[in-house]
Copies of this chain bind each other. A is one copy, B any other.
Amino acid sequence: MENSVFKALAHPARRQLLTMLRQGPRLAGGLAAEFEASWPTMSRHLAVLKDADLITAERQGNQILYRVNTSVLEDAASALLGLIGRDTGDDELKDAAE
């Protein structure tokens, strides 16, 4: 479960997608349009992110709206910080997400 998250984060294009989604939800087409890679390629990157639960998809009529799942991202960052025994910014308690 945690593994798929880090695997999803391993590809630059997918991290780029996440930074794009950081400012708000976006349509698949709009996201794909900003990359050199083909549309199906980007669609698969989105699928990988969704599989890792890093983003959620919501159908809106003809198109699909993607939204970043911040809590999973926070968990990953916490896990990383935990690797060095550093305070995560959240409390020592885990899963205390607002």
Please give the count of copies of this chain that the complex contains. 2
| A89 contacts the other chain (CB 8 A) | yes
Q: Which of B73, B74, B86, B95 is A89 in contact with, Cβ under 8 Å? A: B86
Name A58-81 residues within 8 Å CB distance of B: 68, 70, 73-74, 76-77, 79-81
| A30 contacts the other chain (CB 8 A) | no
| A88 contacts the other chain (CB 8 A) | yes
The answer to whether B80 and A80 have CB atoms under 8 Å apart is yes
The answer to whether A73 and B83 have CB atoms under 8 Å apart is yes
Given contacts A19-B95, A95-B19, A97-B16, is CB(A9)–CB(B89) below 8 Å?
Answer: no
11 A-B pairs in the complex with CB atoms less than 8 angstroms apart: A6-B6, A9-B80, A12-B98, A22-B83, A70-B84, A70-B86, A73-B80, A74-B81, A77-B81, A80-B80, A89-B89
